[in-house]
Structure 1
C-alpha cells in the first residue's frame, strides 16, 4: 500500500518498521555474513548512548556489551520508516585509485509498479573523503556522528560560517564524452559561477551533482581543484544501488564543518534513484550560536509512470530536514517534475519552493539542449523547510548554452539540464529587548 494512502502526507508512522533480525533479534543478535567488498565502520550513535565498541565474534558478526543499542536502532529506523543497513569501514581504508564501473543497468526494464511500491527503502551511512597529497589518495574524514552537530573531540574545527552556497546540476550520464563534459562543467563552476579566489579557494559551498557516470567518477577525483578544496561523498559507485552505472555525488567545501553523511536508496524505484544527505554546521550572524542544517542531493524517478512514486521519494527526503537535532535545510536536485501533480508535492509536504515565479519559461531547466521530443519544463528545483531561522535566495540558472569545444553547432552540450545556483543565509536572531 502506498505510504500517503496509509498515513497521509504529513504524518509520521510510529512503529512501521521492517522486521529484520538486526532490529528484532529472537534471542541474541544474529551474525550477518560479511561480504568480501564490504567496508567496516563503527555503527553511528554507539558512543552517544554509552555503548561499548562493537566486538567481532567468531562467526564475523557483532555483539554489544549493552542491549540498549537494539532499542536505539529501532527508534532510528522509525524516524525514516526504513530498514537501516549499516556498512562497517576500516579506519585506514583507502579509496581505490581506479574504480571499475558496475554492469550496465537497463533504465526501461520491465518491473511491475505494484512491486516497486512495495519495496523497502534503505538508509546507509556515508563518510566524506578528502584528498591527501602526502598519501596521493583520497582518505575518509573523521567526523562526528552526533545529530546535534558537536564537532570532532567536541571542539569547533572550522571557522564560523553564516551562509552556504548551493549548486545543483544534473550533468547527463547518457551523452558521450563524459570526461570532457565534466571537465568543462567543473571549470565553469569554478571560474564563472563561484568565481573562486586567485588561489582557487571557493566560498563555503555544496555542489550537488546528479547522473554522474561510474566511469567518470575517478576522473572527477583526479581534478586538481576538487582535490585541493573539496570533500567528496561517495567516491565509489558501489555506494549507489546495486547495478547502477550512474548516481549522485556531493562535493562539500573543506571550509565547512560536516557532522553526518547518508545515502538513501529509494525502495520504490525502477531506476535505482537515491538521495544523499550531508549535515553541515552553520552559525547565526552576530552570535556564537550554531545549527546543523541538512543539504539533500536527490534525483527523483523519471517519466510519467514515476509520478506514482515521486511523492513518496520526496517525503522520505523531507525527513532528513525534520530529524532531532537538525535545523531544517534544503532538498535540491532533479525532481523530474513533468506532471501537474508534481507542481504541488512540495507544498503538500510543507516544503517551500525557492523559485517564486511559478512554472514559467524563464524558470525552465530542461528541454532546450536536447529534449528527445519531450516538452520543456522546470524539472530541477530547490525546496527548503521554512521558518527555521534562515532564508534561501531564489535560484539562478547556470550552464545555459554551455558547450564543450566552443559554441559551434556541432559542439556537444555539457548537459541536457541547466543547473541551479542559490544561497542559504542564516538570519540574525531577533533581540528580546524592547
Structure 2
C-alpha cells in the first residue's frame, strides 16, 4: 500500500513579531550527528517519560470555539501536565482560536500554524501541540552550548500522510530524535480514522498503513493515538492484528470505564458507550492512562431558555509513556 505524504512544518510563536514562524526542519540523520557532536559525553542509554492527551473536540455541536477553550483549559490547568496534545475535528475557527490562545503561544509548538490548506475540501482537521519546554526545534539546538544538557528531544520531520478514505482523512505525524542514537526516530501519529459502519474496510487499510509507518527503516516505534472510530468487534481486533500494543488494555484490561464515546447519554440509535478513542504503541512502555470526562457549557435557546451541552461527544485520553 502506498500513501502520499505532504511535508509540513512546526511553528513557534515569535513574540517579537507577534506571529507564528515556521521552524526549518532539516535532514533528521544529519541533525542527530550534529547534536551528538556538541557534547563529549557518551551516553549509552536514554529514557524519557512523556505525557500525551488526545481529544476529539466535536466539530458539529453548538459553540465549538467555546467548547474547545474549555477542553484546552482542562488539559492545561489540571494537576497533570501534557507534553503532547493531539486534537481531532478541529474546524478553521477553532484552529484560529487555539493559535491565538496566550497559553499556547507561550508554551507550545504547533503544526500547520501558518497554513490553512489543511481545511481544503474537509470540514475539520487534526492538530498537534508540542511543549516547547520539552522539545527542541532545529534552531534551538544550534543555539545551545551543549545539545544534550541544554535542551529537550530534537524534532524531525512533520508530515501529513493521505490515507485511503471515504472522508479524506489523513495521519499527522512528527518524528522525535533521541539524543543518543544516530539515525533513530520515534513517531507520534495523530489520527481520525474513517467514521461509521460502512467504512470498516477503510479503517483496516488505514491501521495497516500506520503500523507500517512505525516499522519504516530507522524508526524504532512510537504512538498512534486519536479517534479510531472503533465501533465494532472487528475494529477492536485491528490493533492486535497489526501487532501493536493497546495501551488501555495493557494497563486496565477490558475495564468498561475505558469508554470514550456515548458516555452518560441515551442515544436514539440505541448504541451504547464505546471505546472509540485509543492509544496504540510500538517499542514504548505505557505507565499510566486515564479517561478525561468532558464538562458542559450553557447554550442559549429561544424563549430565554438554555441547555447544557457537553464540551464534546467524546471523552479525552491522557497517557503517560516511556521511550
Is the structural similarity TM-score above 0.5? yes
90, 99, 118: which one aligns with 1:221? 99
Per-residue deviation, 1:154: 6.7
Indicate the SS of the match to 1:270: coil
Matched residue, 2:116: 237
**Other-structure match for 1:183:** 69
Larger-gyration structure (1/2): 1
The yes-or-no answer on 1:253 pairing with 2:149 is no
Using the size of structure 2 for normalisation, the TM-score is 0.81
Contact 2:47/2:322 (<8 A) preserved = no
Count residues with an aligned counterpart: 287
Alpha-carbon distance, 1:346 to partner: 1.0
2:317 equivalent to 1:420: yes
Q: Deviations over 1:336-383 (max 9, x none)?
A: 111111111111111111112444421100002655633210000000
SS in 1 for 2:26: coil
Contact 1:147/1:325 (<8 A) preserved: no
Query: Which ranges in structure 1 are unaligned for 5 or more consecutive residues?
Result: 1-80, 83-120, 196-202, 427-434
Q: TM-score, normalised by structure 1?
A: 0.61
Q: Which residue of 2 aligns with 1:396?
A: 290
Alpha-carbon spacing, 1:397–1:149, altered in 2? closer, same or farther (3 Å):
farther
Once residues 279 and 31 of structure 2 are traced to their aligned partners in structure 1, the CA distance between those partners, rounded to angstroms, is 23
Partner residue, 1:299: 192
- For the Cα contact (< 8 Å) 1:365–1:417, is it kept in 2? yes
Per-residue Cα deviation, 1:261-294 (whole angstroms, up to 9, x for no partner)? 111111x2111211111111346xxxx5575210
The answer on 1:375 being equivalent to 2:266 is no
1:152, 1:223 → 2: CA distance? 34
Query: In proportion to residue count, which structure has more helix?
Result: 2
User: Is 1:273 the equivalent of 2:152?
Assistant: no
Where does residue 86 of structure 2 map in the other structure?
208
SS of the counterpart of 1:324? coil
Shift of 1:194: 3.1
Relative contact order (alpha carbons < 8 A, sep ≥ 6): 1 or 2 greater?
Answer: 2
> Residue 124 in 1 paired to residue 6 in 2?
yes
Q: Distance in 2 between matches of 1:193 and 1:402?
A: 17
The question of whether the paired residues in 1 share the 8 Å contact of 2:195 and 2:229 is answered with yes
* Distance change >3 Å, CA 251–CA 401, structure 1 → 2: closer
Taking the aligned partners of 2:33 and 2:106, their CA distance within structure 1 comes to 22
Displacement, 1:147?
5.2
Could you tell me which runs of 5 or more consecutive residues in structure 2 were left unpaired when the two chains were aligned.
Answer: 40-45, 136-153, 300-305
Offset of residue 164 of structure 1 = 1.5
Residue matched to 1:340? 233
Counterpart of 1:278 in 2: which secondary structure? Answer: strand
- Offset at 1:318? 1.3
